[in-house]
Chain A
Amino acid sequence: MNHFDEASCLLYLDGQLDGARAAELTAHFAGCGECRALLHALEKESRLLGAALLEQDEPLPDSLRVVPAPTAGSSSWVHWVWALSFGFAASAVLIFWAVVQPLAEQLDQLGFQASSLLSAVFVSGALWEGWEAMFEALQYAALISLGVLVLAVWRPWRRERIAVAMTLLGIALLLCIPTAASAAEIRRGPNSGVAAGETVNNDLIVFGSAVRIDGTVKGDLIAFAQDLTVNGHVTGDVILFSQLARIGGQVDGNIRAFGASVSLDSGPAKNVIVFARHFDLDPRASIGGGLIGFYATATLGGKINRDALLFAGDTMLDGTVGGDVSYRGNRLEIGPMAQIGGSTRAIGQSRPEVAAGAKLAQPVDFEFQPRRPGRLGRVAAGTYVFRQILAYVGAFLAGLLLIKLFPGLFAAARKATQRVGSAMGVGALVLVSGIAVVLFAILLMIVGTGAGIATLMLYVPILYGAQVFVGSYVGDRLMHKNDTLAPSVGALALGLLILRLLTNIPFLGFFVSAAILIWGTGAICIALWERTRLNVAPAIPAVPAA
């Protein structure tokens, strides 16, 4: 009698043999002790396997207490997100053209050319409300890219396209930068610059603590310095980032100056944009075009051939303005030497003081605007509410994207959010080093390297994510008072709403938003760190900061 092999015994045991074959084996087992022993051993092995595998050895980890996929069924979910992102992208475009376009026209009349989208956003946005608007413009850009991401990387297997989208976006932004200084000469060193008599036949980028330009630059000058002096001749534009900046030489292009204290002893042939704590336009100076100034205090003694747009604290205007003066700020004083060829319009808290000798073509048109607390004072209520809604929708969209694309990361970050202390600590650390990274990124961006933009683009989502995780946490705490977190879109929506309301409390709001930022960023970094440490997941971008 032939014995049966293990395979047949196993199939027999699992009831996988047809009737005739099974009967054959049954008959054989009745008479064959050896095969019966094998059958019993196999059966025992099956039992052992079942017992070992079915033993409830591990409880559900805390992170999985969170119920996933909290939204409605797949199809409605997809439609919803598509609709949301389209709506969002549309509203962002609307804002661009409703707000930026008129401003660009206004600028055009002033002699500033909005040569590209980016400069329109940055320069016009800045014109509108200064730094805050610039930051908002960045937010819009980030939100639009977020919307694009939702569309482009919707399906999980398209995750790798995030990288592509990011790169394309970076390239697009790079193309928008008007003065791409790709072929420029670069000089570094504590006392670098251009000596008297020397000529640089190229664009020049200078880094240094004390920079002097005494010679000639036949091109644009971009300078990063602590103390910058330009006494030479620059045939192109001057873009400077310097704590202390003095320009006494001849500039044939525009001047764009960012600094604590900026003084012009001679004006450029074209326009001037100044962001400074103190701005000084020397009586000898003459600006060929117009002036846009954002500063706390200024003395304007020189000549401005075209219009002056001033967003300022206190201004002493004692020079000549060929065109109109638009002033928005705290206090405008028009001195005895002042001459204004066009109209003078001021919006602010106090009526401009006009000295007896001042020659104004038209009387001062003054509009009183009381100082209201916080941001409300600067923006009309409708726009304000709209922007709050926009920021809210943006954060919510970011949350949905995170839930959908990185559910594991989302759960981990939410878990980390609960560890308030360590999250806060890590968050503070990352943000401090992160600010340095962003500053560096901005430098890179101006120099024209895509890496700068890429870093910045990574940083913005993290700041958004901070809101999302803290919001989701707060929402959960409110909806399920004490224990297990069942995150839902509802909780996320509620939490974000509460955060938005809290951050808009005058004075206190600032601290609330700082806390959210630190807390949430810390949670994200902990989650990213834990996950990259344990399991290298290529789709998750690394933390840009150290």
Chain B
Amino acid sequence: MTQPKAPERAIFQGDAKLADAIARVRAGDEEAWGELYRQFAPAIFRFCRRALPTPEDAEDATTEIFMKVREKLGQYDSQRPFSSWLYKVAANHCWDMLRRRHSRQDLETGDVETLPIESANPDQLSRLIDDQTNSGVRSALAQLPARARMVLVLRYYSDLTYEEIAEALKIPREAVGVALLRARQQLRRALTPQQTATHPATGDRS
């Protein structure tokens, strides 16, 4: 596969040490909880930074997500990768948070939803990509509507499967591909210099 693996999944999937830590947390071991937190907090924080508008939101959400994780750890099915479960909890939380705060309009992609899906010109796309830096992509991402951001983050940061994304966003499995494609198109527009002005920043300070 071509996508870089989320490091947490690569390291901890099937990891006996992690399974042991989770079991100990379930038994009420504070030290194990601290270990688990320290292991995953940076990744979850970065997840929140990419999915939410401000650094403060990300800080709050990280804390709240871990409180939820602590509460719901009993529900985690140890046959599945821990990081996917973790990111799903995180995605649910961030999504709820955004939904509570913003009007619906802000979450929907609006008129973009009705635009016909056009195939990109491969050469143009290729050139556009070659010009980008990682931080440039991140700041363009910050300008996207919440839904587009979330779906890109879930796919390319959390490395969730289409099924997991559908579950996290509570959309049909079939809609995930379209959502991803639209989000990528929105991102391309944000990356294209002359068009960035028409997409005002959504409040990110970075």
A-to-B contact residues, CB < 8 Å: 3, 5-7, 9-11, 13-16, 34, 37-38, 40-61, 63-64, 66-70, 72-74, 76, 407-408, 411, 486, 488, 531, 534-535
Contacts and interface: CB of A to CB of B under 8 A. Distances in A.
Contacts of A44: 126, 129
A51 B178 CA distance: 22
Given A48-B137, A58-B46, A73 B70 contact: yes
A16 B54 CA distance: 34
Contacts of A408: 59-60, 63-64
B56 A535 contact: yes
Given A7-B117, A68-B66, A72-B28, A49 B177 contact: no
A41 B185 CA distance: 13
B46 A57 contact: yes
Interface stretch (B2-10, B14-22, B194-202): B2-10
B6 A54 contact: yes
Given A5-B117, A56-B46, A72-B28, A46 B2 contact: yes
Contacts of B125: 38, 41-42, 45
Chain B interface mostly: helix
B152 interface: yes
Contacts of A9: 119
B42 interface: yes
Contacts of A34: 122
Contact of A68 (B2, B63, B141): B63
Interface residues of B, number: 63
A279 B42 CA distance: 67
Given A6-B181, A10-B181, A37-B126, A61 B67 contact: no
Given A53-B137, A67-B34, A535-B60, 11 more contacts: A3-B119, A10-B184, A41-B126, A42-B125, A47-B2, A48-B137, A50-B156, A50-B157, A54-B4, A57-B46, A57-B135
Nearest to A536: B101
Interface string B107-140: 0000000000111101101100100101111100
A385 to B, nearest CB: 30
A52 B3 CA distance: 11
B67 A407 contact: yes
B33 A67 contact: yes
Nearest to B126: A41
B49 A46 contact: no
A488 B122 CA distance: 55
B181 A7 contact: yes
A5 B119 contact: yes
Q: Which 6 interchain pairs have the tightest Cβ spacing?
A: A52-B137, A37-B122, A408-B60, A74-B71, A6-B119, A53-B157
A535 B71 contact: no
